[in-house]
């Protein structure tokens, strides 16, 4: 019954753009290929959106906003989102398999982490549609003053390749719950999930033009979206470098912007931590999703007193990580998303050596079966003897590469941990509850995990301090991103304003 299953085939798939409720070719007729990163084989041929297609999509989104969608009740919007969540859940297995084929993440992650969270986000915000309220304000004088919380309008959303479907869900769900319309641009490396989602959006019965999905490249389609004068809000997740370009492009039209950018999170182990648990937390922090996570615990701070014990255990576990075929349920790490990313990670091995760090574990591509020799695999890697000022500790590598730094005491630790341009997340492992909460206050980051790592829920806000961006996604904070407040004054006295006389 499902659209996704009907689409299943071993031939390279073909996808068109989704504009105004219809699947259409790009105006230019151009397409681009997206490979399976595990094999390097082509996975799909996708229509390539450019400026002209962005124009069409924005116009469709504007018409939808001014039309039926704008007049639809919150309950109806919520019901459509619930319906979409249900369709995604029914198709979760197929979607997870496609996500793994497109991105390279292990199937156990797509199936048991990404897809359930996608469903959770749509359900959470489906429920929120009917809970978006204004307020009445006790102003002085004979007036009724109240606020209306209204949608922002047409939203441009640009997402990355590391959690293709989940990032689409984080963006679409609150925007739609609040009554906006959307033009979504998936990353060129991973357009497949979003295009399958388009089919389900159509099947759920959203009015034409409410959601438009336009795969294409950043410098063309992405830039056209970010600089479009008829876009009311741009939401972006990706690198800090591109985030700055987006903020500049949006500035010309004063388009509202929210940015979720890079990170170089400190994951900190104090001597009093449960070391076994902390090692598992360090693994989760840096090897999950091949390290391609903006909040990855990529700077591992170890208390000097437990460094040796910790590293011995960490090494043992890191060397046992099962790297290989991402479609195999036993696989713990698949390939990196692209050859560019793989090359970038490899180049940092050279940088680390040149800076005087030690390649303690990994540092190379693993030797795998014939079938995966053209895949973009990299070993779980640990650099030890890293100093916080080194490039490998300051620049986002975006791979399975842990940089181990030691610290003497809490003061030394806080100073080093905050010495970064980023501020997305942080982790701490300690049994001292006072220290844990003190740290949570002193660290400049949008998310803090205490004795855990990489935990998410649709109800809990996520976003960055400093150059990790601005705005908070998920939870009620996401509704703030996608609504604006109107203050309404009503005279209750029935008398004329006397100021300029009768």
- How many chain residues interact with ligand ADP (CB under 6 A)? 17
Binders of ligand ADP among 175-234, rule CB under 6 A?
185, 187-188, 217-219, 222-223, 226
* Active-site residue (options: 120, 196, 260, 396): 260
**Which DSSP helix (H) or strand (E) runs through 489?**
strand 483-491
- Nearer to ligand ADP among residue 78 and residue 218 (C-beta): 218
The token pair that represents 313 in the structure block: 């255990």
Smallest gap from residue 190 Cβ to ligand ADP (A) = 9
Closest CA to 278 of 313, 247, 228, 325: 313
- Nearer to ligand ADP among residue 24 and residue 247 (C-beta): 247
Smallest gap from residue 195 Cβ to ligand ADP (A) = 14
**Catalytic-residue membership of 260:** yes
The token pair that represents 490 in the structure block: 């009503």
CA distance 61 to 58: 5
- Nearer to ligand ADP among residue 119 and residue 245 (C-beta): 245
* Active-site residue (options: 294, 295, 403, 473): 294
Bridge partners (DSSP) listed for residue 144: 490
Smallest gap from residue 225 Cβ to ligand ADP (A) = 7
* Residue 52: strand, helix, or coil: helix
- Nearer to ligand ADP among residue 278 and residue 397 (C-beta): 397
Closest CA to 487 of 164, 37, 140, 145: 145
Smallest gap from residue 168 Cβ to ligand ADP (A) = 11
Bridge partners (DSSP) listed for residue 403: 299, 383
Binders of ligand ADP among 242-261, rule CB under 6 A?
242, 245-246
Closest residue to ligand ADP in the complex (CB): 218
Are the C-beta atoms of residues 333 and 380 closer than 8 Å to each other? yes
For residue 173, what are the CA distances in angstroms to 229, 246, 391, 459? 24, 22, 37, 12
**Catalytic-residue membership of 294:** yes
158 touching ligand ADP, by CB under 6 A: yes
Residue whose tokens read 């075929």? 325
- Nearer to ligand ADP among residue 190 and residue 430 (C-beta): 190
- Nearer to ligand ADP among residue 78 and residue 423 (C-beta): 423
DSSP line for 110-132: IIIIIHHHHHHHHHHHHHHGGG-
Smallest gap from residue 344 Cβ to ligand ADP (A) = 9
Smallest gap from residue 450 Cβ to ligand ADP (A) = 29
For residue 315, what are the CA distances in angstroms to 141, 402, 413? 70, 11, 23
- Catalytic machinery residues: 260, 294
- Please give the residue ranges that form the binding site for ligand ADP (CB under 6 A): 158-160, 185, 187-188, 217-219, 222-223, 226, 238-239, 242, 245-246
């Amino acid at each position: 019954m499902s659209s996704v299953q009907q689409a299943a085939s071993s031939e390279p798939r073909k996808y068109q753009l989704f504009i105004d409720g219809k699947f259409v070719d790009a105006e230019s007729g151009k397409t681009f290929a997206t490979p399976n990163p595990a094999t390097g084989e082509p996975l799909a041929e996708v229509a390539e959106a450019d400026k002209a297609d962005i124009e069409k999509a924005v116009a469709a989104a504007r018409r939808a906003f001014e039309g039926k969608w704008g007049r639809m009740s919150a309950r109806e919007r919520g019901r459509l989102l619930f319906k979409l969540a249900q369709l995604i859940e029914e198709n979760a297995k197929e979607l997870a398999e496609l996500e793994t084929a497109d991105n390279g993440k292990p199937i156990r992650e797509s199936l048991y982490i990404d897809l359930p969270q996608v469903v959770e986000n749509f359900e959470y915000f489906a429920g929120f549609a009917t809970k978006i309220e204004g307020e009445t304000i006790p102003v002085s004088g004979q007036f009724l003053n109240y606020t209306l919380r209204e949608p922002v309008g047409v939203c441009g959303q640009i997402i990355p390749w590391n959690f293709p479907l989940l990032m689409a869900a984080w963006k679409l769900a609150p925007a739609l719950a609040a009554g906006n319309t959307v033009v979504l641009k998936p990353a060129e490396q991973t357009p497949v999930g979003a295009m399958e989602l388009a089919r389900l959006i159509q099947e759920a019965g959203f009015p034409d033009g409410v959601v438009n999905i336009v795969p294409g490249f950043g410098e063309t389609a992405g830039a056209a979206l970010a600089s479009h004068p008829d876009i009311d809000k741009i939401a972006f997740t990706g690198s800090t470098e591109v985030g700055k370009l987006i903020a500049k492009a949006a500035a010309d039209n004063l388009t509202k912007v929210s940015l979720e950018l890079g990170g170089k999170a400190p994951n900190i182990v104090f001597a009093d931590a449960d070391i076994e648990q902390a090692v598992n937390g360090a693994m989760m922090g840096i090897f999950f999703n091949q390290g391609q996570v903006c909040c990855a615990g990529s700077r591992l701070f170890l208390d000097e007193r437990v460094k040796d014990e910790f590293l011995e255990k960490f090494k043992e576990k890191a060397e046992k990580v099962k790297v290989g075929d991402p479609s195999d349920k036993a696989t713990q790490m698949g390939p990196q998303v692209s050859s560019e990313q793989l090359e970038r990670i490899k180049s940092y091995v050279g940088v680390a050596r040149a800076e005087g760090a030690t390649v303690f574990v990994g540092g190379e591509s693993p030797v795998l079966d014939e079938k995966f020799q053209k895949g973009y695999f990299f070993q779980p890697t640990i650099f030890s003897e890293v100093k916080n000022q080194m490039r490998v500790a300051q620049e986002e590598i975006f791979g399975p590469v842990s940089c181990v730094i030691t610290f003497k005491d809490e003061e030394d630790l806080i100073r080093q941990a905050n010495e970064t341009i980023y501020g997305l997340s942080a982790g701490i492992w300690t049994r001292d509850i006072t220290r844990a909460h003190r740290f949570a206050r002193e660290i400049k980051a949008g998310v803090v995990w205490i004795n855990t790592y990489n935990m998410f829920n649709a109800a809990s806000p996520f976003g960055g301090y400093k150059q990790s961006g601005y705005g908070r996604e998920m939870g009620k904070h996401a509704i703030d991103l996608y609504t604006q407040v109107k203050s309404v004054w009503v005279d209750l006295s029935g008398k004329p304003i006397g100021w300029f006389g009768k």
